[in-house]
Amino acid sequence: MADKLTAGGRFRKALAENKPLQIVGTINAYHAMMATRVGHQAIYLSGGGVANASYGLPDLGMTSLNDVLEDVRRITNAVETPLLVDIDTGWGGAFNIARTVREMIKGGAAAVHIEDQVAQKRCGHRPNKEIVSLDEMVDRVKAAVDARTDDDFFIIARTDAFQQDGLNAAVERAQACLEAGADGIFAEAVHTLEDYRAFTDGIKGAHLLANITEFGATPLFNKQELADNGASMVLYPLSAFRAANKAALNVFEHLLHDGDQRAVVDSMQTRMELYDFLNYHDFEQKLDALFAEGKNK
């Protein structure tokens, strides 16, 4: 009997079987369960999403490794779908980055991406980002790769150099990160399909992640367009979170202004739909059996 794949192994398998692999943001364990049920092969935990949803903070490097790990564990305890995690800049120097990678593997993550912004980072689609030197980014990647306790754990190097220094500089960084051992490249805030093709050509067919986030610098390209221009992964980091936020705000406003939820109840997930995703009735039947057994004693 073959050994069971690790989380990293499941990620690599999904990547091999899906061209491109769509990776959807799941802000919590329940969203992860829904994404898994409808058929998604890989899921994502955004660092900005953790800051926003779990701590009510902006995406400005204000959360810690332990803050993110808490949400990682919640998700990986709920589903086996491979989870890609945003580890920002790694939360420190080489020792911190190494600890981050080891803790992510122990927490059940399948993959991470680490970026080349300075520690006081910004959202990748905001202006005035600052990036570290090429040498420092290479050292970050080496620290992450050397710390792996699972050879299949997938490490993606994210570069924000495109907006800062242009296409050629960003491709140069990507090449250096791959030479340092990265398994793939995350090209942030890319503008055109031609730019993705240039990245692909520059990294000689290595795995390329396209970040298709709403209201940012990158148009909402279709997955096939991206695949045709070299992307092997397409990330939708906060799509469901944004939709859920808009829906929640609508409910809050109707409750305040109308005094009831009648106008919005048709837009809600029903109790039975909630229970279905949670396998609620399986738990309830076990509980009923235990009570029945107790009564018969």
pLDDT digits (tens, 9 = 90+) for 230-242: 999 999 999 999 9
Q: Which of 199-203, 245-249, 250-254 has the lowest mean pLDDT?
A: 199-203
203 is in an annotated binding site: no
The pLDDT of residue 262 is above 80: yes
63 marked as binding residue: no
123 is annotated as contributing to ligand binding: yes
pLDDT at 128 over 80: no
Q: Domain locations in the chain?
A: 7-238, 245-294
Model confidence at 1, pLDDT cuts 50, 70, 90, reads very low
Closest CA to 124 of 200, 48, 71: 48
At residue 84, φ and ψ (nearest 5 deg) are -90, 130
76 assigned to a ligand binding site: no
- Listed residue (76, 42, 33, 77) closest to 277, CA to CA: 33
pLDDT at site 163: 75
Q: pLDDT-based confidence at 160, cuts 50/70/90?
A: confident
Inter-residue contact 113 to 156 (CB < 8 Å): yes
Reading phi first (left if > 0) and then psi (alpha if -120 to 50, else beta), residue 159 is in beta
Could you say which architecture CATH assigns to the domain 7-238?
A: Alpha-Beta Barrel (3.20)
Give catalytic residue positions: 44, 59, 86, 88, 113, 115, 123, 158, 188, 211
Read off the tokens for 63. Answer: 């959360």
Q: How confident is the model at residue 120 (pLDDT cuts 50, 70, 90)?
A: low
Q: Is 46 marked as binding a ligand? A: yes
Q: Model's pTM, two decimal places?
A: 0.93
Distance of CA 110 to the CA centre of its chain: 10
Residue 38, CA atoms < 13 Å, CB-side half-sphere: 9
pLDDT number for residue 283: 82
Q: Please determine, for residue 2, whether its predicted confidence score (pLDDT) is greater than 90.
A: no
Contact 50, 241 (CB under 8 A): no
Over residues 61-83, mean pLDDT: 96
177 is in an annotated binding site: no
Greater pLDDT, 282 or 136: 136
Bridge-based pairing state of the strands 21-25 and 43-45: parallel
Question: What is d(CA 17, CA 71) in angstroms, rounded to the nearest whole number?
Answer: 27
Tell me the per-residue pLDDT of 8-49, one tens digit each, with 9 for 90 and over: 999 999 999 999 999 999 999 999 999 999 999 999 999 999
Question: Is 86 marked as binding a ligand?
Answer: yes
pLDDT for position 290: 76
Task: Name the more confident of 151 and 286.
Answer: 151
Q: What is the mean pLDDT of the chain?
A: 92
The confidence score (pLDDT) of residue 125 equals: 55
For residue 127, the model assigns a pLDDT of 57
Q: Any idea what the Cα angle at residue 212 is, between residues 116 and 15, rounded to 5°?
A: 80
What is the model's pLDDT at position 242? 97
The CA-to-CA distance between both ends of the chain, in Å, stands at 41
Task: Check residues 293 and 34 and name the one with the higher pLDDT.
Answer: 34
Is 173 annotated as contributing to ligand binding? no
Counting Cβ atoms within 10 Å, is residue 240 exposed (0-12), middle (13-18) or buried (19+)?
Answer: middle
pLDDT at 52 over 80: yes
**Percent of the chain beyond pLDDT 70?**
94
Q: What is the mean pLDDT of residues 202-217?
A: 93
Check whether 258 is labelled as a binding-site residue: no
Higher per-residue confidence, 80 vs 128: 80
Q: Return the exposure string of 8-36: e unless at least 16 CB atoms fall within 10 Å of the residue's CB, then b.
A: bbbbbebbeebebbbbbbbbbbebbbbbb
144 in Cβ contact with 98 (< 8 Å):
yes
Of 133, 194, 126, 134, give the one whose Cα is nearest residue 163: 126
Dig out the tokens for 124 from the structure: 């990748």
In the predicted model, is pLDDT for residue 282 greater than 50?
Answer: yes
What pLDDT is stored for residue 102 in this prediction? Answer: 98
pLDDT > 90 fraction of the chain, expressed in percent and rounded: 78
